[in-house]
Structure 1
Amino acid sequence: MSKENDMPIELFPGFSSVSLPTSGGDLYARVGGPVDAPALVLLHGFPQSHLCWHPLAEDLARDFRVIALDLKGYGRSAAPAGDGGRHTYAKRTMAAEVVEFMGQLGHERFSVAGHDRGAQVAYQMALGMPEHVERLAILDNLPVHAVWDLIETTPGALPHWTEMALPTPQAENALTVDAIETLVRAHTGDGTLGCFSPVAFEQYRQTWRRPRNIHAFCEDYRAGATTDREADDQDLKAGRTITCPTVIIWGAEFLGRGPETPLDCWRRTFAPDAFGVEVPKGHFVTEESPRETLIALRDLMAR
């Protein structure tokens, strides 16, 4: 384990820092809570890092061994060059790397909560490696194939999914710090950045200035437009479903405005037995609606 002197540790009091090698590069996490407690890994989404979990982490660490992890390409984890979305940033690949990381920490079975892109990694883990996943929380996202169905049937829906999947360097050149900040504002319930901790947001901005991370973000979305979509089609055709206890959490002013509830979408596809919780405000549920999100997660962990 390695301590990070320049980390804003006040956001994760009592947590340590760890960076461990995996087949896809080093992954970084903050770890806290009782060593012998049930493990809960927290996965962020684009364009954030593990810091998005800071409003919930200290409370969760009272009863669980909490591992708030930076996905490959994000935060302090490795950001290797991609391959056009084929394998390096495919969610099945990233899910396997999280399992590797957790195994090195001594956790062969654990619960996982994923927001946004982290939700895609989390559900691939639950579908393809169910022996490792005890419980699953999906925060404000839909199955990849369902997102593309929405994009293709609803003019103007989620244009960044298409724009960020454009070939290198077209997508990378367009993904400036200002462009990312504009996108973030559009996804909050009130159209402002008021829900974010200034300390956390400055850390996000630092990542957005690094070319290797910008490339990784685009590779993540290129995989979402190709390999991840194909993986969903394969799983649907094979009739694979998520069998562990699962909660779907979504923001009323983001996915809550869609043509069907996220819970209905997940139930008709991969999670027929899931339960659902709509929370106030927008897409960034851990920072916009921390209390309600925490209650939903604790409900899941009690099942």
Structure 2
Amino acid sequence: MFDGFTLTHINVGEVTLRVRHGGHGPAVLLLHGHPRTHTTWHRVAPLLARDHTVVCPDLRGYGKSTKPPTTSDHAPYGKRAMAGDCLALMRALGHDRFAVAGHDRGSYVAFRLAMDHPDAVRALAVLDSVPIGEALAHCDARFARAWYHWFFFAQPDRPERVINADPDAWYDVATKNSPERLGAENFADFHRAIHDPATVRAMLEDYRAGLGVDRAHDDADKATGRRLHCPLLALWSLRDDLGDLYDDIGAIWREWADDVRTGTIDSGHHMAEEAPDELAAALRAFLRTTKEDTFTEREPSW
């Protein structure tokens, strides 16, 4: 996987992130979702690296990134904290301004990064998501039935006991998630992660933060009229359920951003693994249209 990429661990303050980076050109940060690690991008990153510097970390708590202690409000696993990690990571690698694309839970980190640090993010792509605050505000019986895990994962202790009793059964190993579908090395990384109780707890803390501090941050931004001014691309999978849950995904994002483009990918939820060529092409086309006139790189500081 990731031919020509560097694999390393970088201390970004509160945590140390495992990260792969490679390529040359304007930087793009790729953020994975649950229950994946950065290796989910192994089929997409090399395609983007033809004309971009591509950075793929494990989010804090996930994979082989470190897992800080939590608090009663779960803020250490909130998207503001994760976004701060990503900003520090990109600066350590010499990138003061960059594009970011996030899938699933990673899209919430990408969104928060663009909201909190607009001078750093030149373009944002969100894959299979609407903002957490919007998802909960639009929550109805359809959402609760399809995404019940949001509310189950928020409960104390019980989700850990259920998942750790049989991680392979919970995460559909050998059916939806097999070496053939994920690629052998990506599968091995995913499989190792879901069998680590510390990683499982950290992933659940991500969801617990989602229903608390993350929603509060989204709601506070909406109440004060904060918006994104960078270009935003919203992509969703045709064979997943986001399009069934929301009548107009683009309209939701236009409540938050001035320049919204939309599109679909012919895949199930894990589009980076199922339709890498189509996804990479969509991202490259978007990044070309948002390319800035000047490109500068600093020497890494790590």
The alignment's TM-score, normalised by the length of structure 1, stands at 0.89
Q: Which residue of 2 aligns with 1:30?
A: 20
- Distance in 1 between the 2:173 and 2:14 partners? 28
In structure 2, what is the equivalent of residue 258 of structure 1? 245
SS in 2 for 1:130: coil
Distance 1:173 1:90 in 2: 22
Q: Which amino acid aligns with 1:262?
A: I
* Counterpart for residue 188 of structure 1: none
Structure 1 SS opposite 2:146: coil
Equivalent residue, structure 2, for 1:198: 184
Cα distance per residue 1:243-301 (max 9 Å; x no partner): 1111111101211222323222212x312421011111211111112122111101111
Aligned to 2:206: 220
Trace 1:12-91 onto structure 2 (pairs within 5 A).
12-34=2-24, 37-91=25-79
Give the CA deviation at 1:143.
0.6
Amino acid at match of 1:147: A
SS of residue matched to 2:181: coil
Structure 2 unaligned spans of 5+: 290-302
Match among 149, 168, 171 for residue 160 of structure 1? 149
Runs of 4+ in 1 over 4 A off after TM superposition: 191-194
Question: Given the superposition, is the C-alpha separation of residues 184 and 96 from structure 1 closer, same or farther in structure 2, using an over 3 Å criterion?
Answer: farther
| Residue type at the aligned position of 2:220 | Q
1:84/1:173 CA distance change after superposition, 3 Å = farther
Q: Give ranges in structure 1 of 5+ residues lacking alignment.
A: 1-10, 186-190
Show the counterpart of 2:294.
none
1:232 to 218, 234, 252: 218
Paired amino acid for 1:281: S
CA displacement at 1:151 relative to structure 2: 3.5
**What's the offset of the Cα at 1:90?**
0.6
8 A Cα contact 2:177 2:187, kept in partner: no
Identity of aligned residues (%): 35
Matched-pair contact (CA < 8 Å) for 1:114–1:137: yes
Residue identity matched to 2:4: G
Distance 2:141 2:228 in 1: 27
SS at match of 1:135: strand
**Which residue number corresponds to residue 210 of structure 1?**
196
The change in CA–CA distance for 1:179 and 1:239 in structure 2 (over 3 A counts) is farther
CA contact (8 A) 1:43 1:113 kept: yes
Q: CA deviation at 1:166?
A: 0.7
Quote how far apart the aligned CAs of 1:242 are. 1.1
Matched residues, number: 284
Q: How do residues 255-294 of structure 1 correspond to structure 2 at under 5 angstroms?
A: 255-267=242-254, 269-294=255-280
Amino acid at match of 1:159: Y
Measured in 2, the distance between the counterparts of 1:173 and 1:207 equals: 16
Match of 2:111 among 92, 107, 123: 123
| CA–CA separation in structure 1 for the residues paired with 2:264 and 2:140 | 25
Aligned partners of 1:284 and 1:70: how far apart in 2?
Answer: 16
What root-mean-square deviation, in Å, do the aligned CA atoms of Structure 1 and Structure 2 show? 1.8
| Aligned mates of 1:261, 1:283 — CA distance in 2 | 18
| 1: CA distance, partners of 2:81 / 2:122 | 20
What is the SS of the residue equivalent to 1:226?
helix
Report the CA distance between 1:86 and its aligned residue: 3.1
**Is the deviation greater in 245-254 or in 258-267?**
258-267
**TM-score, with structure 2 as normaliser:** 0.89
